[in-house]
Structure 1
Amino acid sequence: MFPFQVVYRDETQAARALDDERLLALIRFRKPAAPLIDPRSGVIPLPELGGSSTVEVWLSAQPVRVGVTHGVSHAGNDTVLFLQCRLDEYAPDALQPLTAMAYRRLFAAARELGYPHLLRVWNYFPAINRECGGLERYRAFCAGRHQALVAELTEFETHLPAACAIGTDEPGLRLYALAGRTAGIQIENPRQTSAFHYPRQYGPRSPSFSRAVLKAWGERHHHLYISGTASIVGHASQHVDLMAQLDETLFNLRALLAQANRLMPEPLRPALLKVYCRSDLDLAALRQRIAQALDADPPTLFLQADICRRELLIEIEGLAVGSAS
C-alpha cells in the first residue's frame, strides 16, 4: 500500500485536517497571516486562480511523529518524512549562501531522523528573475543548491531529487520536501537536456534536479514525482504564445511518463497536478487542453507565480501513480 496520499481540499476543511493524527502536512496558498505554530502547517504565498481557496493535504497511512530538528519542521511515519524550512534573507545578495544553508539543514534533519534520501523538493522565493549583484536570483539559488547537493550526495548526477523553483511576491526562502528511508529511481526526459548538464549560459552552476523520481512502495505500488516542467526542448525555451507553450509542456510530460513507464508493470496515471501561470487565464480552456493531452483529468491547482525563466509563461508539476493488480 502507499504510505501516504496527497489531496486538494477546500480551506474550510483545514481545521479538520489539522486534528487528524495522520496529517503529514497541510499547505495553504495565500499571503501569510498569523505565525504558524503547528510544524505540519505551511504557507506558500501564491494567489490561487479561479476564485477557490484550496489547501494541499498530505495524509499518512498511519499516525505520524511530529517535531522540529535543526530548524526544520517535520512529520513522518515508518516510511516517509515530510519536511518544511523557512529562512529570511539577511542581505539582498544572500540567496546563494542561504539556499546552501537551507539544503544542508534539510539533509541534516532527514538523516538524523533516519530518512536520508530526498525524493522531492519544492523551492519558493521572491523576485526569482531579478538581477542582484550582476546575477539573476534564480541562478544564485541554483549555485547555492548545487553547493549543498555536491557536498551531500556521493553520486550527484544519479541521485538528485525531483524539484521546482517558483517565484513568490513575499519575503523568505520557503522549502518543503519529501524524504524516504530508501531511494527512488531518477528519471530523465529524452526530449530535454538533463538540467544538471545545462550549458554555462544558464548560470555559473546548472540547476541540480532530476526531471522526475520514480519511487516503489513495495512491489505493486509506485509514485512518480514530476518536477516543474515547461516549454523547453533540449535546453532552449520554445514559443512565445501561452497555448503553444502549454502544448510543448504537455509533450514533455507525456515523454516523461513514457520514459518512467518503461520500468513499470502497469502504466502510471497522473493523479494530481499543480500549474503555475504568470497571469490570470481561461482555466476551463487550460483544463480541457490538459485532459485531452494526458488522457486524464486529475485534480489540478492553478497558482499565479513567476517561472524560473523570464520568457516562460507556464509550468506544470505533479504526481503520477501506478498500482499492479
Structure 2
Amino acid sequence: MYFLNGERIYFQPQNPFTSLTDAFDNCLRQIVNYMGAGKVFKLNVFAETSSEKEYSHLAIQIREKVKKQFADNVLFSLIAQPPFSCNIIVEACFFNPLQWKSEVLGDTDSEAILFKKDGTRSLIGKVQSNAQESCGFDAKEAFQKLKYIFDNAGLPVNSIVRQWNYIENILGSDNGRQRYQQFNNVRAGFYAGHFNESGFPAATGIGTNYGGIIIEFIAITSEELISKPVDNPLQISAHHYSTNVLAVKLCPEKETPKFERARNVKLFNKKQLYISGTAAIVGEKTEGINDPVRQTEITIENIKKLYSNNIESSTIEDSGKAQFGHARVYIKNHEDFPAIKKTYEKYFGNSPAVYLHADICRHDLLVEIEGRVILV
C-alpha cells in the first residue's frame, strides 16, 4: 500500500475457465513469485459463488491455503462479487517490513494488522458478521467487532480515513425494512459524535451476493498526518441527503449515509486522495437513467471534479499533479459491461481497474466507481 511503502496489485488466474480453488491456487503462486516487491499482508478475493454454502466452503478453503502458504498471518476477505474477466480475482496488498513493524490483532471474523513507524500507527483490517438474520443485526454485530478491535489497538474510531461496506442483498428487505437503510441507521448510531470535527471517512457501500456484512477499513494516527474531507460542488454531501432519496417507506428510521465524497490524505510527504464509491448523482438525484454510457460519463465527471486543481488546493497545500489509478468499477447488469468498460477506458486508458458484478445502492444506478489518486 502506498503509505506503507508497498503496492496493491490485482492477480487473476492464467486459465480463466478452471475451478475456483484451482484458480485461487494459481493466483497464490503468482503472488508468491511477485513478493520481491514487499511483504504481502492482506488478500481481497472477489469470486463468483452460487450459494451461501459454496461461499462458506470456499472461505474455509482459502483460509487454510493462505495459512499454509504464508509463515506470518495474512488477512483475507472473500467478497461475493463476480469479476467479469474470470471467476476469481485476488487483490494483494504489500508493505515494506524494513520500514514498518507489524502486529496481528483479532481473530477469524475481526482481524487487523497494526503497523507502527516512529509515532505513526496505521490499522488495516476487516470485520464480518454473517448470522443470516437481518441486515440490521449483522451491521450491529460488525460494528461491535469493529469497536473491539479499535479498543484493542488503542486507536480512536475517528482515525478511519477509508472504509468499505460490503452488504449482502443491499437493495433487498427484511420484514419490509430495506437492508441498505438498516445499515445506514446502524452506522449513524455507531459514528455518533466521533466525526464531528474531522468529517467522515471516504467510503463505499456496495452489494454482494453472500457474506452478510463485511467492513474493511484503513485508520491512521500520526502527528505527521493531514487528513481532510473533500466535497464535490456538483453533488450534495451524502450525509446531507433529504428524505426524498432515502428508503423511508421501506424502513421507518431514516439516517443518511455517513461518508465523504473523498478524503485528501498526506503522510510522510506522500499525498493520496481516497475516492469514495461514486455514481451518476447530481445534487442528490440520479441522472442518465437506463443509459449505462451516460451514467459512466457522469460518474467520471464527478470523480474528476474531486481532484481538480481548485479542490485539491483547498484541502491540502501543494497537492501536486494528480495520477488516477487502482479503480474498482462495479456494474449492475451483465449486458452493460462492454459499454461501461469502453467508456471508462476512453477517459482513463489502461490505468489499473477491476470490473465487478455488483448491485448498487439505488435501483436506478447502473455503475459505481471508486479509486485512489496519487498526488505527485
The normalised TM-score by structure 1 is 0.88
Does 1:27 pair with 2:7?
A: no
2:319 equivalent in structure 1: 265
Residues 18 and 137 from structure 1, CA distance in 2 versus in 1: closer, same or farther, beyond 3 angstroms?
A: farther
Mean alpha-carbon deviation: is it higher for 142-151 or for 277-286? 277-286
Superposed displacement of residue 232, structure 1: 0.2
| Aligned-partner SS, 1:109 | helix
- The answer as to whether partners of 2:82 and 2:88 remain within 8 angstroms in 1 is no
For residues 9-65 of structure 1, what are the alpha-carbon distances to aligned partners after superposition, in whole Å with 9 as ceiling and x for unaligned? 235232564796822311111133041255512210110002364211111122632
Aligned-partner residue type, residue 2 of structure 1: F
| Aligned-partner SS, 2:8 | strand
Percent identity for Structure 1 against Structure 2: 24
- The answer as to whether partners of 1:129 and 1:308 remain within 8 angstroms in 2 is yes
**CA distance in 2 between partners of 1:70 and 1:106 (Å):** 13
**CA distance in 2 between partners of 1:212 and 1:77 (Å):** 23
Mean alpha-carbon deviation: is it higher for 168-177 or for 36-45? 36-45
Residues 154 and 211 from structure 1, CA distance in 2 versus in 1: closer, same or farther, beyond 3 angstroms?
A: closer
2:114 equivalent in structure 1: 76
2:209 equivalent in structure 1: 169
Aligned-partner residue type, residue 3 of structure 2: F
1:226 equivalent in structure 2: 275
**CA distance in 2 between partners of 1:205 and 1:41 (Å):** 30
Residues 132 and 115 from structure 1, CA distance in 2 versus in 1: closer, same or farther, beyond 3 angstroms?
A: same
2:22 equivalent in structure 1: none
Residues 106 and 70 from structure 1, CA distance in 2 versus in 1: closer, same or farther, beyond 3 angstroms?
A: farther
2:16 equivalent in structure 1: none
Aligned-partner residue type, residue 100 of structure 1: K
Does 1:178 pair with 2:218?
A: yes
Residues 237 and 121 from structure 1, CA distance in 2 versus in 1: closer, same or farther, beyond 3 angstroms?
A: same
Does 1:66 pair with 2:104?
A: yes
- The answer as to whether partners of 1:159 and 1:186 remain within 8 angstroms in 2 is yes
- The answer as to whether partners of 2:325 and 2:372 remain within 8 angstroms in 1 is yes
**CA distance in 1 between partners of 2:261 and 2:144 (Å):** 22
Residues 231-242 of structure 1 aligned to structure 2 (within 5 Å): 231-240=280-289, 241-242=291-292
Candidates 277, 281, 292, aligned match of 2:331: 277
Aligned-partner residue type, residue 273 of structure 2: L
Superposed displacement of residue 110, structure 1: 2.7
Residues 34 and 252 from structure 1, CA distance in 2 versus in 1: closer, same or farther, beyond 3 angstroms?
A: closer
Superposed displacement of residue 303, structure 1: 0.3
1:120 equivalent in structure 2: 162
Residues 53 and 162 from structure 1, CA distance in 2 versus in 1: closer, same or farther, beyond 3 angstroms?
A: same
> Any runs of at least 4 consecutive aligned residues in structure 1 with deviations exceeding 4 A, and if so which?
18-21, 281-285
Aligned-partner residue type, residue 7 of structure 2: Q
Between the two proteins, the alignment pairs up a number of residues equal to 317
Aligned-partner residue type, residue 312 of structure 1: L
2:23 equivalent in structure 1: none
Mean alpha-carbon deviation: is it higher for 97-106 or for 125-134? 97-106
Residues 18 and 149 from structure 1, CA distance in 2 versus in 1: closer, same or farther, beyond 3 angstroms?
A: farther
Mean alpha-carbon deviation: is it higher for 301-310 or for 49-58? 49-58
Aligned-partner residue type, residue 235 of structure 2: Q
Superposed displacement of residue 114, structure 1: 3.9
Does 1:212 pair with 2:262?
A: yes
Mean alpha-carbon deviation: is it higher for 280-289 or for 5-14? 280-289
**CA distance in 1 between partners of 2:341 and 2:170 (Å):** 27
Does 1:315 pair with 2:353?
A: no
> More helix by proportion, 1 or 2?
2
| Aligned-partner SS, 2:334 | coil
**CA distance in 2 between partners of 1:130 and 1:53 (Å):** 25
The normalised TM-score by structure 2 is 0.77
Aligned-partner residue type, residue 10 of structure 1: Q
**CA distance in 1 between partners of 2:109 and 2:299 (Å):** 36
2:28 equivalent in structure 1: 14
| Runs (5+) with no aligned partner, structure 2 | 14-25, 50-54, 68-73, 249-253
Candidates 348, 352, 365, aligned match of 1:299: 352
Superposed displacement of residue 71, structure 1: 5.2
Candidates 23, 41, 48, aligned match of 2:76: 41
Aligned-partner residue type, residue 212 of structure 1: A
